[in-house]
Amino acid sequence: MSISLAHVESAAMKEVALDTHAPGRVLDEQVLPSNIAKTIPVRSNLSDADTLANIRHAVSLDLPWLDESPPHNGRAIIVAGGPSVHAYLNIIKGAQKSGAVVFAPNGAMGMLNDHDVTPDYFVMLDGRPGSVRFINDGFANKYLIASQCDPSVFDDLEFEDVTLWHSNYEGVQEHTGNRPCVLVSGGCTVGLQALSIAFAMGFRSIDLYGFDSSFSGGLGHAYPMPENVGEARFEYSVLGKRFIAAPWMMRQAMEFQIAARQLADEDCTISVHGFGLLPEIARHMSRPAMTEKAKYELMWGFDAYRNVSPGEHAVEQFLSVVSVTDKTRVIDFGCGTGRGGRKIHAITGADVLLVDFASNALDGDVELPFKALDMSETMGLSGEVGFCADVLEHIPTDSVPAVIKNIMACVREAYFQISLTNDNCGALIGHTLHMSVFPAEWWLSQFGNYKVKWFTGDEQTLAVHVSY
């Protein structure tokens, strides 16, 4: 079935210039999943003890708990606090009048009130005592309050329509007892958790506004957010387009990709409106399928992808298990930048031929013979030794046997290094790069028609030397 994963408004509007001179550090970071762990840990903004104390208090209250509802045809609108939301306030107001249900996390409630919009639901996750100000600054028809919120929030909402929900925080199940409940996850921010809440409530058409995940004109929110004053700022890029964002913003943009794909798999249509880091990522996620060749021609335009050369790092191991001299004809299959093949030539003096189907893969200073060939087809090459590092995992699974066969048809023996993990760089273009991620045992079975002379590996990588 066809699922619309994400959509970004194409209305003629200009993005406000980013203030790169704002306080805090500005570093050049590509938006990669591997950046997440080093920039911000997953945690509550309270200590574990305080968070669990809040949860214990909340579950003691006589409140209904969020429950799962069957899918329906209603439309949910989640309004976050990114600066771009101001451009869409009239659209949001009109959609609500037409029957859409508006969810407003945190300060978005008061901001919507200021523009004559009363949210159907206010959503709160923040456990800090000062966050009660969001309650005092606005009003909604109903309130969805996380169990980790401060007791003062529940005091202030004593006479309001409140539903308690539980973030999937470590330890929360010890306090919910046997009472049925929905544990909400989906990301580190209240906006992403609101996305999961709307899904749990049965909505399968969800529009997101104000999910910028970046600064615009030096502002990170459409309303004052004193809690975030002085936070670190970094520069991130998506397909060469640069954004200034706090680490939590970047993390939200990355976690959105996971959450959106999971919900899309459940027949949920997510439409992203606005501009900023997250909408830019969403725009590329919604691109139609690309051919494998086009995918890598695009990838080689990114320094973040080009700077990593697994083949270059595999050369020492390759030369320790395969005999190569200055008389040997080596073919580097899936050569990428060509730095691996160049290193083999520099160390041994061997005659090295580079092969890749992306003609723009080679570094400009690599001066070895190169052929642009598709390894899933007969190549008609002749050599003695094959070198194929971090290539096979990129091959669609149904083409793996043909690629191995075509490589071995060109040489007498070959060294393969294979990654056993998911890729980090596909997020740059919204496409998966590692198409065949399997354990070592599966890969070894693919060489059943050949003699496996040697292999080694761990949970992340397998290296194997095969011959006839």
- Tell me what pLDDT residue 22 has: 32
Report the CATH number that the domain containing residue 357 is assigned in CATH: 3.40.50.150
In the sheet that 351-356 helps form, which strands lie side by side, from edge to edge? 370-372, 351-356, 329-333, 385-389, 413-419, 461-467, 451-457
Q: Answer yes or no: is 1 within a domain.
A: no
- Tell me what pLDDT residue 287 has: 66
What the block records as the tokens of 111 is: 């901001």
Q: pLDDT digit string (tens) for 72-84?
A: 999 999 999 999 9
Q: Answer yes or no: is 216 within a domain.
A: yes
Q: Answer yes or no: is 439 within a domain.
A: yes
**Residue entry with tokens 């459409």:** 222
Tell me phi and psi for residue 45, to 5 degrees: -85, 15
- Tell me what pLDDT residue 44 has: 63
- Three-state secondary-structure class, residue 233: coil
Query: Which of the 8 DSSP states describes residue 186?
Result: S
What the block records as the tokens of 408 is: 């071995």
- Tell me what pLDDT residue 23 has: 33
Neighbours of 14 (CB within 10 A): 6
Tell me phi and psi for residue 159, to 5 degrees: -105, 15
Q: Answer yes or no: is 328 within a domain.
A: yes
Residues 185 and 244 in one domain: yes
Residues 177 and 274 in one domain: yes
Residues 149 and 127 in one domain: yes
Which of 285, 319, 345 terminates a domain? The answer is 285
Residues 241 and 365 in one domain: no
Q: Are 388 and 443 in contact (CB under 8 A)?
A: no
- Tell me what pLDDT residue 6 has: 37
Which of 255, 285, 315 terminates a domain? The answer is 285
- Tell me what pLDDT residue 288 has: 67
Q: Are 195 and 259 in contact (CB under 8 A)?
A: yes
Q: Answer yes or no: is 12 within a domain.
A: no
Q: Considering the chain, what is the average pLDDT of its residues?
A: 86
Give the Cα separation of 428 and 40 in Å (integer). 20
Q: Answer yes or no: is 240 within a domain.
A: yes
Tell me how far CA of residue 204 lies from CA of 79, 189, 252, 268, 288, in angstroms.
16, 20, 21, 4, 21
Residues 83 and 130 in one domain: yes
Which of 254, 285, 316 terminates a domain? The answer is 285
DSSP output for 251-312: HHHHHHHHHHHHHHHTT-EEEEES-SHHHHHHHHHTSPP--HHHHHHHHTT-HHHHT--HHH
Residues 68 and 33 in one domain: yes
Residues 267 and 352 in one domain: no
Low-confidence ranges of the chain (pLDDT < 50): 1-42
Residues 347 and 257 in one domain: no
Q: Are 119 and 141 in contact (CB under 8 A)?
A: yes
Residues 117 and 150 in one domain: yes
State how many domains the chain has.
2
Q: Answer yes or no: is 21 within a domain.
A: no
Burial 184-212 (b: 16+ CB within 10 A, else e): bebbbbbbbbbbbbbbbbebbbbbbbbbb
Q: State CA 292 to chain mean position distance.
A: 20
Beta-strand (E) ranges in 338-427? 351-356, 370-372, 385-389, 413-419
- Tell me what pLDDT residue 355 has: 98
Q: Answer yes or no: is 137 within a domain.
A: yes
Residues 353 and 255 in one domain: no
Domain that holds residue 108: 28-285
Residues 260 and 126 in one domain: yes
- Tell me what pLDDT residue 370 has: 97
Q: Bridge partners of 72?
A: 203
What the block records as the tokens of 311 is: 């083949």
Residues 397 and 448 in one domain: yes
What the block records as the tokens of 55 is: 């949860």
Q: Are 7 and 271 in contact (CB under 8 A)?
A: yes
Give the Cα separation of 233 and 245 in Å (integer). 5
Long-range contacts of 127-136 (CB under 8 A, 24+ apart): 127/44, 127/45, 127/46, 127/50, 127/51, 127/54, 128/45, 128/46, 128/227, 130/227, 131/106, 131/227, 132/156, 134/106, 134/107, 134/109, 134/110
- Tell me what pLDDT residue 99 has: 97
Please give the torsion angle defined by the CA atoms of residues 47, 53, 54 and 57, in that order, rounded to the nearest 10 degrees: 180
Closest CA relative to residue 352, chosen from 336, 364, 370: 370
Closest CA relative to residue 418, chosen from 448, 439, 399, 433: 439
